[in-house]
Amino acid sequence: IPIKQIKLRRLSMQLKNPFTTSFGTFRDKEFLILEAIDEVGNRGFGESVAFASPWYSEETVQTSAHILEDFLIEPIKNHGITHPDDLAALFSHIKGNNMAKSVIEGAIWDLYAKRRNESLAQALGGTQQEIEVGVSLGIKPTVKDLLTTIEQQLEEGYKRIKIKIEPGWDVDVLREVRAHFPDMPMMADANSAYTLDDVDHLKKLDDLDLMMIEQPLAHDDIVDHAQLQASMDTPICLDESIHSLADARKAIQLGSCQIINIKIGRVGGLTESKRIHDYCREQGVPVWCGGMLEAGVGRAHNIALTTLPQFTLPGDTASSSLYWEEDIINPEVVAKNGMIQVPDKPGIGYDIDDHALDKWTTATKTFDF
């Protein structure tokens, strides 16, 4: 893939509504957009998912920029690659920093697909023409606020409702939600807010017919989760703890989870996401695609990945308009009745809105090859 230039932008966009998790509140989003341009002017795009603060994981926007600028761009310039899968070998001596690796990998996957004149979904081996999506709802000031929001999102047609929980906003709140919406497909995400001391409390969730509880225990744990799963019926889904196929294999072998949330950035890119997907398919473990409050480029990558067959549960990739006044792609991502039609145009399948991209860009660096 003859890359001529890489453009790395830093953007800042304001969220329409603050989003509260057990570890903090997001009001706006800072992120990177990396553009890889070939000799005939094809443009491949990748979006970073690290947040400004290391709340969800160690990586931040700043560490992603540092790792990209100082370690990841150079080897591509020096060695060149023929397929996006080659990047794993090129980056293998750089530990961790999966979100940084994923930004450039994503841009090169998009460029690769565009050069082949096929959609990213096709290039990945996707099989679904439309995908099911749910929505993730942050912690609200009152239960009434939560119930109103759920009502609105059910009217939008989302296929399942995910509710963020933390100690003090969990069993009682979910019980009230269940009483109002007896048949709603519903799950909870704790973002690692509990420990094994909370086992008896968490077991009360077993009465509420949850599809799953996501990441109840520590962000870096798979051992305690196995103990928790053995003592509760609600399926555990791991998010934060899974960074690779090796992690997924260990978690499944230990019985730490029954479902895996695949986030492209967290596992270092689309190639590793696909490997985890393939392993889960062999093992009969359902997967779904998580979200990181992405703008349009990240959303488009999530949609392409979700076309793989083992993505049997609705993901978190809701409509752009839920998050942004103006997204950086054209058209924006639209979920109708909880379904997104997968674009069949080359690459990510959405056009970049260059005007919006420029508007939200706060800094740009260019690397000529």
| Closest by Cα among 287, 297, 269 to 132 | 287
Q: Which of 164, 203, 250, 274 is catalytic?
A: 164
How many residues sit close enough to Mg ion to count as binding (CB under 5 A)?
3
Establish whether 345 is a catalytic residue: no
37 binds, among Mg ion, ligand OSB, none (CB under 5 to 8 A by kind): none
The minimum distance between CB 226 and ligand OSB, in angstroms, equals: 20
State yes or no: 351 annotated in a binding site.
Answer: no
Our CB check for Mg ion shows the closer of 9 and 164 to be 164
Q: Which of 101, 114, 162, 263 is catalytic?
A: 263
The minimum distance between CB 233 and Mg ion, in angstroms, equals: 20
The minimum distance between CB 162 and ligand OSB, in angstroms, equals: 6
315 binds, among ligand OSB, Mg ion, none (CB under 5 to 8 A by kind): none
HEC readout, the chain? CCEEEEEEEEEEEEEEEEEEECCEEEEEEEEEEEEEEECCCCEEEEECCCECCCCCCCCEHHHHHHHHHHHHHHHHHHHCCCCHHHHHHHHCCCCCCHHHHHHHHHHHHHHHHHHCCCEHHHHHCCCCCEEEECEEECCCCCHHHHHHHHHHHHHHCCCCEEEECECCECHHHHHHHHHHCCCCCEEEECCCCCCHHHHHHHHHHHHHCCCCEECCCCCCCCHHHHHHHHHCCCCEEECCCCCCHHHHHHHHHHCCCCEEEECCCCCCCHHHHHHHHHHHHHHCCCEEECCCCCCHHHHHHHHHHHCCCCECCCECCCCHHHCCCCCCEECCCCCECCEEECCCCCECCCEECHHHHHHHEEEEEEEEC
The minimum distance between CB 2 and Mg ion, in angstroms, equals: 38
The minimum distance between CB 216 and ligand OSB, in angstroms, equals: 12
Cis omega (within 30 of 0) for bond into 331: yes
Q: Residue 75 is which amino acid?
A: P
The residue with its CB nearest to ligand OSB is 291
Q: Which residues would be at the binding site for ligand OSB (CB under 6 A)?
A: 21, 56, 136, 189, 191, 239, 290-293, 316, 318
316 binds, among ligand OSB, Mg ion, none (CB under 5 to 8 A by kind): ligand OSB
State yes or no: 214 annotated in a binding site.
Answer: yes
Our CB check for Mg ion shows the closer of 35 and 132 to be 132
108 binds, among Mg ion, ligand OSB, none (CB under 5 to 8 A by kind): none
Our CB check for ligand OSB shows the closer of 22 and 42 to be 22
Positive or negative torsion for Cα 239, 328, 37, 127: positive
State yes or no: 354 annotated in a binding site.
Answer: no
Work out the number of other CB atoms within 10 angstroms of the CB of residue 129: 11
139 binds, among Mg ion, ligand OSB, none (CB under 5 to 8 A by kind): none
The minimum distance between CB 190 and Mg ion, in angstroms, equals: 8
Sites for Mg ion among residues 182-241 (CB under 5 A): 189, 214, 239
Our CB check for ligand OSB shows the closer of 100 and 292 to be 292
- φ, ψ for residue 331, nearest 5 deg: -70, 170
Establish whether 203 is a catalytic residue: no
Our CB check for ligand OSB shows the closer of 260 and 318 to be 318
293 binds, among ligand OSB, Mg ion, none (CB under 5 to 8 A by kind): ligand OSB
Q: Residues at the annotated binding site for Mg(2+)?
A: 189, 214, 239
Q: Residues at the annotated binding site?
A: 189, 214, 239
User: Which residues contribute to the site for Mg ion (CB under 5 A)?
Assistant: 189, 214, 239
Among all residues, which ones are annotated catalytic? Answer: 164, 263
